[in-house]
Structure 1
Amino acid sequence: MTRQHHLRGVLLASIACMLWGISGVAASTLFTLNHHVTALWLTQIRMISAGAILLIWGQLIHAQPFQIWRQRATGLRVISYGLLGLVPVQLCYFEAVKFGNAPIATIIQFLGPFIISIYYFLFKHMTPTRPEGIGMVMAFVGTLLIVTHGHLTSLAISPVVLIWGGLSAIGVATNTLIPRPLLPKFGAMAVTGWGLFVAGICLNVFGPLWRVHVTLTAAEWGLVLLIIIFGTVIPFLMFAHALGYILPTTASLLDAFEPLSATVFSVIFLNVQLTTFDLVGGALIILAVMVLSLNGRKMMNFFRRRRAET
């Protein structure tokens, strides 16, 4: 792997993460402009449209996305991935954005990797390493600063935002763990495409799209298209392509661009006011995830040794 390829991967992953952050800002803008737009409606439109685009693209490049349905077990896992992984990571995130703002929602969602560490500790009996422990303490302190602004007897953000943001962080964990067995065989494009499409269709149980009449201006439709194309399809393809040039641990470090871009663009374009506690807390959470990611290679080696032993 040449240095040029490594730089290309870093650039692709960085841009993808920034686009994900910008999509949160676009959603916040849309919720402000049109109060009839709900997080559920926007999530349905985003999932169905982006999923269909990825599946059509996969079919055109002969990725054979329909192979995943030939076995009942893989089909059920895709459905689980959509409902238990993608729904909380997208719907709950948009709910947090709607009731709060994009920077806070994105930073809380960024706690997802620590949910994964807790999962391995509780169910796989894998004791956290020292870097993981340090990262968890940093993440806890950062979250506490954002939630309380230093006043431990009261909340500085709405409990609704905290609940939706926490659910989206859990969604990050399930979104990572559930599809893992499918990716080597079927590829990220088919797995993500079907997960998005199935989840979007299933969400009609809670609010059928054909019964919702939302009138949007041309500018508002532009924001919806931005969220679908530049906030979902393009960054996914860029990030998947970047993993061919850089290590997953490097890619996870670059995820920090998502909350950073959400914060910067919210302050510039939406005039969102963040306190010193928000900034310091967000910085601690981002640094904590970096500590966890830097130790990722040791974690993977540990998991391989445990698997070999058992």
Structure 2
Amino acid sequence: MTTQHHLRGVLLASIACILWGISGVAASTLFIHNPHITPLWLTQIRMISAGIIMLIWAQLAGTKPLAIWRQHRDTIQVICYGLLGLIPVQLCYFEAVKVGNAPIATIIQFLGPFIISIYYFLFKHVKPRRAEAIGMLMAFVGTLLIVTHGHLNSLAISPVVLFWGGLSAIGVATNTLIPRPLLPKYGALTITGWGLLIAGIFLMVIKPAWTVSLSLNAFEWLLIVVIILLGTVAPFFMFARSLSDILPTTASLLDAFEPLAATIFSVTFLNVQLTGFDLFGGILIILAVMALSMNVRKMMARLHRQTD
């Protein structure tokens, strides 16, 4: 791998994570400008539109996206991915943005890797190493600072924000773990495309988008397009492409750009006010996730040795 390729991979992954952060800010702007727009409605539109685009792209790329429906077990797994992985990571995140703000929602969601680590400890019996344990402690302290602002007898943010943000963090874990066996077989485009489309159709059944009476202006439609194309499709392609130039552990470290972008753009354009506790807690969580990410390969190597 040349230095030029490594630099390209780092750049693509960084831009992808920044775009994911911007999508949260765009959603927050939508909710502020038009209170009638709900996270459920926006998630449906985002998922179905992005899912169709990805599946068409997969077909044009020759990956045969329909092949997955010929395997019963794989079909069930991709449905579980859509319902248990993508719905929590997207719908619950938008709910947290709606009742709180993009920076706090993104930082809480950023705790997802620790849920993955806890999963491996409980179900795969892979004990966390010292760096991982320290990272978990840092993440706990960071979350505590954001939630209480140093006053342990009271909450500084709404329990509703914590609830939706916590579910979105769980979604990060299920969104990562469920589709892993399918990706080498069918490709990320096909799996993500079907997952998004299945999740969007399921949400449509709950409350169809066309039953919601909305009047949207050009600016609001522009934000929706930004969320679909720049906040979903484009970063997915960039991040997937970056993995051919850099290691997954390097790419996961660059995930820190997502909460940073959400914070910077929210403070700059939405005048979101963050306290010193929010900023310090967010920095602790970001550093903790980076520490955990640097041990991912070691953790996976141990898991493979135990299962061989």
TM-score range, shorter chain: over 0.9
TM score, norm. by length of structure 1: 0.99
Residue 175 of structure 1: how far off its partner (Å):
0.2
Q: In the TM superposition, what whole-angstrom CA distance separates every residue of 1:182-237 from its partner, at most 9, and x where no partner exists?
A: 00000000000000000000012221122112110000000000000000000000
Q: What CA distance in whole angstroms lies between the structure 2 residues aligned with 1:21 and 1:173?
A: 18
- 2:264 aligned residue: 264
Query: SS in structure 2 opposite 1:255?
Result: helix
Counterpart residue type for residue 5 of structure 1? H
- 1:183 aligned residue: 183
Residue 298 of structure 1: how far off its partner (Å):
1.2
297-306 vs 166-175, which deviates more? Answer: 297-306
Q: In the TM superposition, what whole-angstrom CA distance separates every residue of 1:81-101 from its partner, at most 9, and x where no partner exists?
A: 000000000000000000000
- Mapping 1:72-83, distance limit 5 Å: 72-83=72-83
Residue 177 of structure 1: how far off its partner (Å):
0.4
| Contact preservation (8 Å) 2:9, 2:246 | yes
- 1:3 aligned residue: 3
Q: What CA distance in whole angstroms lies between the structure 2 residues aligned with 1:262 and 1:210?
A: 30
Counterpart residue type for residue 186 of structure 1? Y
Q: What CA distance in whole angstroms lies between the structure 1 residues aligned with 2:132 and 2:243?
A: 23
Q: What CA distance in whole angstroms lies between the structure 2 residues aligned with 1:72 and 1:57?
A: 24
- Mapping 1:90-101, distance limit 5 Å: 90-101=90-101
- Mapping 1:127-138, distance limit 5 Å: 127-138=127-138
Q: What CA distance in whole angstroms lies between the structure 1 residues aligned with 2:209 and 2:97?
A: 21
Q: What CA distance in whole angstroms lies between the structure 2 residues aligned with 1:280 and 1:149?
A: 10
Q: In the TM superposition, what whole-angstrom CA distance separates every residue of 1:147-182 from its partner, at most 9, and x where no partner exists?
A: 000000000000000000000000000000000000
- 2:295 aligned residue: 295
- 1:215 aligned residue: 215
Q: In the TM superposition, what whole-angstrom CA distance separates every residue of 1:220-272 from its partner, at most 9, and x where no partner exists?
A: 00000000000000000000000011100000000000000000000000000
Report percent identity of matched pairs: 75
Residue 306 of structure 1: how far off its partner (Å):
1.0
Q: What CA distance in whole angstroms lies between the structure 1 residues aligned with 2:187 and 2:205?
A: 29
TM-align CA RMSD: 0.6
State how many pairs are aligned.
308
Query: SS in structure 2 opposite 1:121?
Result: helix
| Contact preservation (8 Å) 2:81, 2:174 | yes
Q: In the TM superposition, what whole-angstrom CA distance separates every residue of 1:108-130 from its partner, at most 9, and x where no partner exists?
A: 00000000011111111211111
Note the residue ranges of structure 2 that are not aligned, 5 or more in a row. none
Residue 167, structure 1, aligned to residue 142, structure 2: no
Note the residue ranges of structure 1 that are not aligned, 5 or more in a row. none
Q: What CA distance in whole angstroms lies between the structure 1 residues aligned with 2:166 and 2:26?
A: 21
Q: In the TM superposition, what whole-angstrom CA distance separates every residue of 1:50-105 from its partner, at most 9, and x where no partner exists?
A: 00000011111111111111101101100000000000000000000000000000
281-290 vs 202-211, which deviates more? Answer: 202-211
| Contact preservation (8 Å) 2:58, 2:190 | yes
TM score, norm. by length of structure 2: 0.99
- 1:66 aligned residue: 66
Q: What CA distance in whole angstroms lies between the structure 1 residues aligned with 2:294 and 2:56?
A: 36
- Mapping 1:24-173, distance limit 5 Å: 24-173=24-173
Query: SS in structure 1 opposite 2:154?
Result: coil
293-302 vs 234-243, which deviates more? Answer: 293-302
184-193 vs 55-64, which deviates more? Answer: 55-64
